[in-house]
Amino acid sequence: MLIPLILSGGSGTRLWPVSRRNLPKQFLSLAGRGTLFQQTINRTRLLPNVGSPIVVASEDHRFLAAEQLLESGIEGATIVLEPMGRNTAPAIALGALQAIERDPDALLLVLPADHLIGETDSFIQGVNLALPAARDGSLVTFGIRPDRPETGFGYIRRGDAIGEGAFRVAQFVEKPALATAESYVADGHYDWNSGMFLFKASRYLEELEQHAPEMLQTVRDAHASAKIDLDFVRIDRDKFAKVPDDSIDYAVMEKTQRAVVIPVKCDWSDIGSWSALWLAGARDPQGNVREGDTIAIDTRNSLLRSHDRHLLATVGVDDLIVVSTPDATLVAHRNAAQDVKRVVDELKAAGRTEHSLHRVVRRPWGSYDSLESADRFQVKRIVVKPGAALSLQKHHHRAEHWIVVSGTAEVTCDDKVFLLGENQSTYIPLGSVHRLRNPGKMPLEIIEVQSGSYLGEDDIVRFQDVYGRT
């Protein structure tokens, strides 16, 4: 059985302010139809004899992954939750152990969740070419035929041909300087290292046991202690913390004698920066990629992206990245796009939240948007999905007023349970045990006005929660 293993633990800091820790780039619609995660999942459905995917995701993103799988119509997927990031080699080991439980001879197609592929047919053809070598015990990686010298990717040098479209790996090369990258493109035997792989799950574990035995043993221990929680496989936190941090390239691929590369040309991008998204986007006659409400006057070779209802206008600029969101705006030269992560680092150092949270925060029950706040009050727009409910909870430091804008609200307040319709409101006193639920078939929208001495999200005492949060 061919099982897609989707690695979905990245944070995408170079795509700030759109990609943030709680909503990273793989779960965003950045190019094409659907999110990058959904596009990756949907490509695998075109492969022959393919099983349900295994997704390795961060605990913080578990509901995002589950919801987007549901939206894609994927059933039977397994979502393995990493308690913390330990790089690709342990994440793939978790997926391999999970796959072997389904099928001891399972083939794993390892795909990062945040890559963009424009030519799906070429990608499928490359996977089909890789299947014989993978079945014979090789560890296959997919190289991307370079169309330009690129310093942001590692490279793979092809060795001898071993079959149709397949070559031994002669060398893995780190990200080069520009002159070296130019020589690689001119040489014609170098491909970009895509980070996509195909091999037997059992073979990968054998190679890991040979080259990184401590890693394999600690991953096995953590996986053996996993617990099933709703639709998720929760890996033991304390045991997984002991797992060494390393990539599959360093831990296995650069050491194995069975590495094979399949070069493909599939209009691939890892969407690793705003400049990469500009390259992958549909450019107008002036070379601009534009999304949202934008006006571009005497503007060339720029990426303009407005993610709120505000107009974004530029006049007389070239080669810029301008990205506007409800709570942050980025302006950068296209050549400096790789340095956007420095903004994220500075936000973290300053103790700010814009690196991790959007103004609109998604929750498993829906979302909330912080419209206005001051020292002792905050106004939120809360949207609850049909049939969903917030936790039964109380607050020590704030009271709340709820006004129903649309839909029907079921309100629990201490020992009372009652319904509110449009334009009706209620008051939740400080310290009251309360819950908001949407009993209807349409989204419930309310305006919440909080008032009190402390309005932080950590002032929540949960008594019941259908999503397993504490």
Determine whether 33 is exposed, middle or buried from the number of CB atoms within 10 Å of its CB (0-12, 13-18, 19+). exposed
> Cα–Cα distance between 436 and 434 in angstroms, integer?
7
3-state secondary structure of 76: coil
Q: Are residues 282 and 303 in the same domain?
A: yes
Q: Are residues 129 and 195 in the same domain?
A: yes
Q: Are residues 141 and 257 in the same domain?
A: yes
Domain boundary among 269, 302, 321: 269
Q: Are residues 404 and 303 in the same domain?
A: no
Residue 395 belongs to a domain:
yes
3-state secondary structure of 203: helix
Residue 347 belongs to a domain:
no
Q: Are residues 292 and 406 in the same domain?
A: no
Domain of residue 34 covers 2-269
Residue 400 belongs to a domain:
yes
Q: Are residues 314 and 395 in the same domain?
A: no
| pTM metric for this prediction | 0.89
> Cα–Cα distance between 281 and 329 in angstroms, integer?
20
Domain of 450, CATH number, reads: 2.60.120.10
Residue 106 belongs to a domain:
yes
- List the chain pLDDT tens, one digit each, 470 residues: 999 999 998 777 899 999 998 899 999 999 888 999 999 999 999 998 899 999 999 988 998 999 999 999 998 899 999 999 999 999 999 999 999 999 999 999 999 999 999 999 999 999 999 999 999 999 999 999 998 998 889 999 999 999 889 999 999 999 999 999 999 999 999 999 999 999 999 999 999 999 999 999 999 999 999 999 877 999 999 999 999 999 999 999 999 999 999 999 999 998 989 999 999 999 999 999 999 999 999 999 999 999 877 899 999 999 999 999 989 999 999 999 989 999 999 999 999 989 988 888 888 899 999 888 888 999 999 999 999 999 999 999 999 999 999 999 999 999 999 999 999 999 999 999 999 999 999 999 999 999 999 988 889 999 988 877 66
Residue 123 belongs to a domain:
yes
Locate 229 and state its tokens.
Answer: 């929680």
Residue 349 belongs to a domain:
no
Q: If phi over 0 gives left and psi between -120 and 50 gives alpha, with beta otherwise, what is residue 195? A: left
Q: Are residues 291 and 231 in the same domain?
A: no
Residue 95 belongs to a domain:
yes
Predicted pLDDT of residue 117: 95
Backbone φ and ψ of 415, nearest 5°: -95, 10
Domain boundary among 269, 301, 323: 269
Domain boundary among 250, 269, 288: 269
> Cα–Cα distance between 119 and 130 in angstroms, integer?
17
CB within 8 A of 73, min separation 6: which ones? none
Q: Are residues 206 and 285 in the same domain?
A: no
Q: Are residues 17 and 129 in the same domain?
A: yes
Domain of 75, CATH number, reads: 3.90.550.10
Q: How far is CA 48 from CA 45, 78, 99, 110, 119, in A?
A: 8, 20, 17, 16, 18
Number of compact structural domains in the chain: 3
Q: Are residues 119 and 138 in the same domain?
A: yes
Residue 371 belongs to a domain:
yes
Q: Are residues 149 and 283 in the same domain?
A: no
Q: Where are any strands of DSSP class E within 307-351?
A: 312-315, 320-325, 328-333
Residue position matching structure tokens 């506007």: 324
Q: Are residues 181 and 297 in the same domain?
A: no
